[in-house]
Amino acid sequence: MKITKICCIGAGYVGGPTMAVIAQKCPHIQVTVVDLNEERIAAWNDENVDNIPIYEPGLSEVVAVARGRNLFFSTDVEKAIDEAQIIFISVNTPTKTYGKGKGMAADLKYIELCARQIARISKDNKIVVEKSTLPVRTAEAIKSILDNTGNGVQFQILSNPEFLAEGTAVQDLLNPDRILIGGDPSDDGQKAIQALVDVYSNWVAADKIVTTNVWSSELSKLTANAFLAQRISSINAMSELCEKTGADVNEVARAIGMDSRIGSKFLKASVGFGGSCFQKDILNLVYIAKSYGLNEVADYWEQVIILNDHQKRRFSNNIVQTLYNTVSDKKITFLGWAFKKDTNDTRESAAIYVADDLINENAKIAVYDPKVSRKKVLADLDYLDTRAASKNETSILSFESPYEACAGAHAIAILTEWNEFVQYDWQKIYDSMQKPAFVFDGRNILDGPTLEAIGFVYQSIGS
């Protein structure tokens, strides 16, 4: 089948960049991204490409090239589904906040809604691609809905998980380590796989495209994220031990990373991992393991999350302890709120939890993040639902400039590794702060000796 029309449901951090790159690399394919959220679509269509809703280095340039040529953003979901030969589902799958599996299982209600909508609208055979990370065997549920509520048309379900990391999405999409496509072993399934392989072959080498059965593909995504998160929890576990023993976790990471069996990536000790995927996917894995009665497997992976929660709490406890056991009415400046640099995404960011702890201690928190607004910071805290929104409102101070944010502060906490933080005039910041002036570097990005020479009391993770 020659593919000329693709649609993607969900114009988020995954759907948006992925479709933009497909459109850029396949000018002969019309790519339409649809979303229920009108505001989000309007932002994708903003005349000024710098106003697109997702910040990713290089993304606005890709959108500028393809938008209006073969890349379209729309709220007309029905039309896009009707016309497309391949439909990507890239809606969010948050952890359930109610009922069975609350706090662990993935909430698949949006996925199901999409499947029902596709079934209702489709008049010809279609390939439906799971792009969202889903628990193993979700494809089966999608297939059952499509086959039983549809108009008798044939659907092929593929799993094609996304491995891009936010902040490097465009580069990851242009030069992926691999593309994974899972499909049915039947002839029709293999034809569907081939149709999607042909799309990616426009820019990805054949040996980087891996095809599997659907379940392997779904489980590989959860496994990849679990392994990555596990590395961070492993190094973070060692960071606490380093602090007690006089070892330096950065030195330990460098030393073990040179072992080619271990490798040097993803060994950066931090205040804890965040983002929309790691915690959600591991909880999901744990839930799946438990549902098969595999309690030891579940406990093994759950420990990665437990350690991560501990790391965040340890960071906030240390701030309180170091500031003479009280932060009440003290100004503490957060540099960074996003879950990592080069993104405006704040989902599950460690900053949210550290702030939550410090607000419980009546601290005033001045937040400066180059890409995150005060409105978003408050929404993140309100979402935790630990206290009245009015208390969050009076506890969070926001500033346009980092220097203003730091002036008069008792301490600075680095929560995101934005490059610009390293470039700041730290002498100027020191001069404007209360003394002693503390820096708690939750990302180990600043140079301790330089700050100490200025007069700061500097603490990093794991030394």
Q: Considering the complex, state which of residue 183 and residue 274 has its C-beta at the smaller distance from ligand UDX.
A: 274
Question: Is 352 one of the binding residues for ligand UDX (CB under 6 A)?
Answer: no
Compose the 149-188 pattern: x for residues touching ligand UDX by CB under 6 A, - for all others. Answer: -------------xxxxx----------------------
Taking the complex as a whole, the smallest distance from the CB of residue 107 to ligand UDX amounts, in Å, to 10
CB 142 within 8 A of CB 171: no
Which residue among 122, 132, 333, 395 contacts ligand UDX (CB under 6 A)?
A: 132
Taking the complex as a whole, the smallest distance from the CB of residue 141 to ligand UDX amounts, in Å, to 15
Whether 428 sits among the annotated catalytic residues: the reply is no
Q: Kindly report the backbone phi and psi dihedral angles of residue 77, in degrees, each rounded to the nearest multiple of 5, phi listed first.
A: -65, -40
CB 236 within 8 A of CB 272: yes
Taking the complex as a whole, the smallest distance from the CB of residue 2 to ligand UDX amounts, in Å, to 27
Which residue among 73, 155, 200, 273 contacts ligand UDX (CB under 6 A)?
A: 273
Question: Is 340 one of the binding residues for ligand UDX (CB under 6 A)?
Answer: yes
Radius of gyration of the chain (CA): 23
# residues contacting ligand UDX (CB under 6 A): 41
Taking the complex as a whole, the smallest distance from the CB of residue 413 to ligand UDX amounts, in Å, to 15
Q: Considering the complex, state which of residue 177 and residue 296 has its C-beta at the smaller distance from ligand UDX.
A: 177
Whether 47 sits among the annotated catalytic residues: the reply is no
- Mark 224-234 as b/e (b = at least 16 C-beta within 10 Å): bbbebbbbbbb
Taking the complex as a whole, the smallest distance from the CB of residue 163 to ligand UDX amounts, in Å, to 4
Whether 162 sits among the annotated catalytic residues: the reply is yes
Q: Considering the complex, state which of residue 229 and residue 409 has its C-beta at the smaller distance from ligand UDX.
A: 229
Q: Considering the complex, state which of residue 351 and residue 429 has its C-beta at the smaller distance from ligand UDX.
A: 351
Q: Considering the complex, state which of residue 72 and residue 339 has its C-beta at the smaller distance from ligand UDX.
A: 339
CB atoms within 10 A of CB 171: 15
Residue numbers annotated as active site: 162, 221, 277
Q: Which residues bind ligand UDX (CB under 6 A)?
A: 9-15, 35-37, 40, 90-93, 110, 113-114, 131-133, 162-166, 225, 228, 232, 266-268, 270, 273-278, 339-340
